[in-house]
Structure 1
Amino acid sequence: MLKLQIPKNRIKALARHLRDQFELERLERGWELFHKGLAQDIELKHGLEVHALVRDTKPAEVILNLETIPKSECSCSQGEHCEHQAAVVFALFVPHGRPELLLAQLKQAILVKNRQAQTRQGSTRTAEKKQEQRLEPPAPGQSPGQWQRFFDQQFYGFSLNQQSSIEQFYGAVKEKLGGHAEGWPPPLKELYALQLLLFVMRKIEQFYQETKTSYLSYYIETGCRTVGRQCHDELLTLVPKLDMEALTRKYTAPWKETLAMISEAALSGKESPLSWSTVYRSIWWRMPQDGPWMSGERARLAGLLAASDLMPRRRDALIMAEAHFLVIEGDDERARQRMEQLGRREAKDFFLYLHRCYEEEAWDRMLAWLRWLLPAVQRAQQDELRQFCHYWMEAVQRQPSDEEWIGVMVGLLPRTYPFYTAYLLKAKRYKAWMDLQMASRVSPLSLYSVDLQTVEREDPALVLPLYHQAVERAIAEKNRTAYATATKLLKKLHAFYKKLNRLPEWEDYIYRLAVKYSRLRALQEELKQGQWIP
């Protein structure tokens, strides 16, 4: 008898055969036979066949064909894919690992395969059923829920299979569904447009969740956020057009249903690439303040917050919504006090208030929000930081001094470098601008030529330290390319000293530089070629 250990690629092929062809019950029975030691007399014959005897109730002779596994045989009456073949495979696996782990892996794979098959069958039946129950196109007399079901039916089975699928979906929705409300009464036409936006956002969220483990997950998430921002911008344009008076009085039922949809998405606290809270707050900010709608919603929020088993994210969503009604009343201070109870404060959630202050030119109110947001902005993403800086620049122009804003920009360096340097140039603070470049160790060769020329025209002496620093940094690299860069910078320096009528200082500087780096032969050659040293 041969002490048998077949190659690893062969045992992997046998394991795949068990996974793809065997029923779970047969595998478990085969494991039981192997575990009891009933798979015996295992031999390799002819180089490509494993012969074995499985001493079951009735002994079974097994022949596994390693070259063409489906041609394997067993003398039992159960046909192919029997438990005796499985028992022999488990026995062969022993030199490669633990057979019980192989069994567990096979069981898991088979269960997943069975579930997927059931899902495909269910999807096929659902698709056939949906095909039979085609819905009528949206009409003014239908409810928003009926519109949404029609939207879903039109895009049933839409899948993401490439990087730009999200953008394609967005464009297809606009093209295919956007024209159904032509000729509707104005309040319903705008409501339909809002429902279409809600559909796109809901599907984006669905795509985001379904593809989190996909190889395209990064591209899908990026697309979701890009289209989400487009929806957000459309929303800010659409909401002011909504006739709240007509919707709350004449179209009460569809409007109430719309608010319920938005509330369900915004107050759940679930993870999302979209800001449902912004949708919720934008809508309620335009609602009539003196009426049962507002008081009813505030009472509902209080009741939801009273629950003792709230998850942190849901609790934050409810606190944000409750505090928003204080903002609507104009009591920003109390709203911020309430928001201090948030578990996590995200800068992006508050740009709604900054935008509203900008629209109303309420600069003092904007500054109060900006100051309160500063801790959250320090950990914000770069695009959020950019918005923050733009709002602060707008506000600071209406203040008697920009000292506070400059302190913020300096405190957030280096992330605020592009905003701070642009402001200093605009404010003609050239000395501060040059100090910033020095502190940031920026080479003159890396700066925008227009910016540098602006400072040079104003005061050439200001740029001298920047060039001196860049020369020293280039020489410190100690290679010919860096020495050539240093020479290029020295030519500019020589021109500045000449323009300033300070050539004796230049000669003293170049002499000291040559002495300091006298051991760097390649640099000395560059200085000689420039005719700065003999």
Structure 2
Amino acid sequence: MLQRELTREQAIQVGEQILIAVEGHIIERGYTYFSDGVVFNTRVEQGQYLTSDVQGSEVYHVRLDMETVQNSTCTCPYSRICKHIAATFFQMYSVFENPRTFLTRSQQPRRATFSPHLLIPTYKYSHTAPAQQDTASISSALTSNSSVKEWWAFFESWTRNLFAAMESYRASSELLSSYQNVLSVAASWPKDRAQLFVIHANLFHLMKLTQYVKTYRQSYWFLDLVQTAERLLDQLEGTLYFADIPALLTHHQDAIVDTLQLTKELKENEATSLYWIFAYQMLWWMLLKNPQWMQEEIHVLDQLINNENSSAAEKEKGLLLRAHFHVMEKEDEAALQIWKKMSRLNLSFYLSYMKSFARNGEWQRFLDWTASLTSLIGQAETQQYRLVIAIWQEAMQRVGRSAECGAKLKQFLPSSYHEYAAYLYEERQFQQWIDLQMSFQVPMADISLVQVKEIEETEPTLLFPFYLREVNRLIAERNRTAYKEAIKLMKKVRTIYNRANQDARWERYVEQLSAKHNRLRAFQEELRRGNFNL
């Protein structure tokens, strides 16, 4: 049916937008959903929208905007283009083309592209109860008028057997299930009150996770539990981002004051885990920006730092938190000087600030941070690097420096290898391009033959070191197949030397190569078969 309502050109056009707008790991997960056959009820509406139902942890409803993919929506908690939208795209694409081919293409290095969607937190809080939970069975204990203190007493009661369940079953699943189910308590409350409840439920479960690790795992964070903590923080950020903060501060002052007190108490946690620190910073940054409250907290932190009885660990924790308030007061250099001395802080620690600068249009401030964090950006994991570079390119454009972007990508090596290589090639800076391939020891199999061919036709002598390094690499494999490949490549290189009128240089190279490997009998045989015997 889709084949009659859509065209191959539409599928290809949507695919091009998907490659620009959607992160690679989301495309891969969307392909998995499509392959698992969980996309159904797919249909075209108004000639522009492709709608479907996708079975995830529940059935989610997708509306894919085929004209502007970034306007697509899904009922899942993910606030950007999600795996369910990607799965719906693959359902459409598979009618006209091989979806596996598209997946392979999406996995190739792609230039980072800016979109305002990148600045939106990944998760949004939906003011509805989980369908699988009997809401009435747990909501009777609290009402929308209950205090924060009563909320936390309820959380303690609700999770009294949580650690036992986490020990017996999969810890992350049990904790997340507890968190998601308890949200149904506030499903019928006024939206702003429910948002505050969600913030506290999130903080409580984050603290429970930290306590669990300390009690049962001797502070050893399994990858599964790390991902759970990160997911809770993503949802906390999303709840705060989408919340009506002025309404919360105006109509729920008592609860906000209680939230302030709980946030202050987060300092009592050990600094072995950064997760509570992320939550602490997030709450101050997005919710608790009252100048008087900030000054009171700064005074407490300064006392901790300057107290001669404070341990080294306590002072470091105090400095780490104090630096956050430097940023809030726009004393960025003071904050960065403190944080950069702490080797355990990687790029992810700084991302929430940098995204906030971009949201607020503080483009020069963002650029100042990238200049200060160059080495961390250059060493970052792919997803984080692509996010920062996409925003960086937009910031450079906003301040009138977009022409500098290509050359400045060099400072972000090794993460920027693919983009910097593309820039050098496009600018026909072939010598630098070759030097980059050589320094990164890129094998010929990973180099575009089209690019190599153009350089051969333009400046063939530039390729000599690259080709000869490949010959040496093949010989070093010490097997007959590799020797044959080396000889095949040598024949090609001989032709290029000949065209460059450097036959004498080539003969010296072959003579030296033969002498160097005179004990490799199989290689010497292949040299003779290739008419390279001297």
TM range (shorter): 0.5 to 0.7
One-letter code aligned to 1:346: L
- Where structure 2 has 5 or more consecutive residues not aligned to the other structure, the ranges are 1-137
Question: How far apart, CA to CA, are the structure 2 residues paired with 1:404 and 1:278?
Answer: 34
Residues 514, 524 of structure 1: 8 Å contact kept: no
Residues 467, 493 of structure 2: 8 Å contact kept: yes
Residues 286-365 of structure 1 aligned to structure 2 (within 5 Å): 286-287=286-287, 289=289, 292-336=292-336, 339=338, 346-347=345-346, 348-365=348-365
Question: How far apart, CA to CA, are the structure 2 residues paired with 1:170 and 1:344?
Answer: 30
Deviation at 1:402, TM superposition (A): 4.7
- Residue 238 of structure 2 is matched in structure 1 by 237
Deviation at 1:526, TM superposition (A): 1.9
One-letter code aligned to 2:210: E
* Cα distance change, pair 173–423 in 1 and its aligned pair in 2 (3 A): farther
- Residue 474 of structure 1 is matched in structure 2 by 474
Query: Cα deviations across residues 188-245 of structure 1 (Å, max 9, x unaligned)?
Result: 111122122212311221232134359xx5xx52112212222222233221223333
One-letter code aligned to 1:509: W
Query: Cα deviations across residues 390-445 of structure 1 (Å, max 9, x unaligned)?
Result: 66566556635359845634xxxxxx434234323145254323211212333213
- Residue 249 of structure 1 is matched in structure 2 by 250
Instruction: From 401, 404, 411, give the equivalent of 1:401.
Output: 404
Question: How far apart, CA to CA, are the structure 2 residues paired with 1:489 and 1:166?
Answer: 55
Residues 190, 241 of structure 1: 8 Å contact kept: no
Instruction: From 145, 148, 151, give the equivalent of 2:155.
Output: 151
* Cα distance change, pair 369–291 in 1 and its aligned pair in 2 (3 A): closer
Deviation at 1:181, TM superposition (A): 1.5
Residues 434, 463 of structure 2: 8 Å contact kept: yes
Instruction: From 421, 425, 443, give the equivalent of 2:422.
Output: 425
Question: How far apart, CA to CA, are the structure 2 residues paired with 1:508 and 1:223?
Answer: 58
Question: How far apart, CA to CA, are the structure 2 residues paired with 1:425 and 1:343?
Answer: 34
Residues 181-260 of structure 1 aligned to structure 2 (within 5 Å): 181-213=186-218, 220-260=221-261
Question: How far apart, CA to CA, are the structure 2 residues paired with 1:331 and 1:240?
Answer: 23
Greater CA drift, 149-158 or 253-262: 149-158
Query: Cα deviations across residues 74-114 of structure 1 (Å, max 9, x unaligned)?
Result: xxxxxxxxxxxxxxxxxxxxxxxxxxxxxxxxxxxxxxxxx
Deviation at 1:468, TM superposition (A): 1.4
- Residue 140 of structure 1 is matched in structure 2 by 144
Question: How far apart, CA to CA, are the structure 2 residues paired with 1:278 and 1:352?
Answer: 9
Deviation at 1:166, TM superposition (A): 3.9
- Residue 176 of structure 1 is matched in structure 2 by 181
Structure 2 residue matching 1:517: 3-state secondary structure: helix
Question: How far apart, CA to CA, are the structure 2 residues paired with 1:404 and 1:425?
Answer: 11
Residues 376-387 of structure 1 aligned to structure 2 (within 5 Å): none
Structure 1 residue matching 2:145: 3-state secondary structure: coil
- Where structure 1 has 5 or more consecutive residues not aligned to the other structure, the ranges are 1-133, 410-415
Deviation at 1:521, TM superposition (A): 3.3
Query: Cα deviations across residues 33-86 of structure 1 (Å, max 9, x unaligned)?
Result: xxxxxxxxxxxxxxxxxxxxxxxxxxxxxxxxxxxxxxxxxxxxxxxxxxxxxx
Structure 1 residue matching 2:268: 3-state secondary structure: coil
* Bigger Rg, structure 1 or 2: 1
* Cα distance change, pair 221–516 in 1 and its aligned pair in 2 (3 A): closer
Question: How far apart, CA to CA, are the structure 2 residues paired with 1:523 and 1:508?
Answer: 21
Structure 2 residue matching 1:323: 3-state secondary structure: helix
TM-score by length of 2: 0.60
Asked if 1:456 corresponds to 2:435, the answer is: no
* Cα distance change, pair 531–387 in 1 and its aligned pair in 2 (3 A): same
Deviation at 1:345, TM superposition (A): 7.0
Aligned pairs, number: 382
Question: How far apart, CA to CA, are the structure 1 residues paired with 2:261 and 2:343?
Answer: 25
Question: How far apart, CA to CA, are the structure 1 residues paired with 2:327 and 2:199?
Answer: 24
> Relative contact order (C-alpha < 8 Å, sep 6+): which is higher?
2
Question: How far apart, CA to CA, are the structure 2 residues paired with 1:390 and 1:241?
Answer: 23
Structure 1 residue matching 2:310: 3-state secondary structure: coil
Structure 1 residue matching 2:222: 3-state secondary structure: helix
* Cα distance change, pair 374–304 in 1 and its aligned pair in 2 (3 A): same
Question: How far apart, CA to CA, are the structure 2 residues paired with 1:475 and 1:185?
Answer: 73
Residues 183, 198 of structure 2: 8 Å contact kept: yes
* Cα distance change, pair 316–474 in 1 and its aligned pair in 2 (3 A): same
Question: How far apart, CA to CA, are the structure 1 residues paired with 2:155 and 2:269?
Answer: 25
Residues 406, 420 of structure 2: 8 Å contact kept: no
Question: How far apart, CA to CA, are the structure 1 residues paired with 2:318 and 2:239?
Answer: 25
Residues 240, 286 of structure 1: 8 Å contact kept: yes
TM-score by length of 1: 0.60
Structure 2 residue matching 1:401: 3-state secondary structure: helix
Deviation at 1:304, TM superposition (A): 4.5
Question: How far apart, CA to CA, are the structure 2 residues paired with 1:340 and 1:404?
Answer: 28
One-letter code aligned to 1:153: S
Identity of aligned residues (%): 24
Query: Cα deviations across residues 452-475 of structure 1 (Å, max 9, x unaligned)?
Result: 533534555344431211102332
Question: How far apart, CA to CA, are the structure 2 residues paired with 1:359 and 1:197?
Answer: 24
Residues 430-509 of structure 1 aligned to structure 2 (within 5 Å): 430-445=430-445, 447=446, 449=447, 451-457=448-454, 461=460, 462-490=462-490, 493=493, 497=495, 502=499, 505=502, 509=506
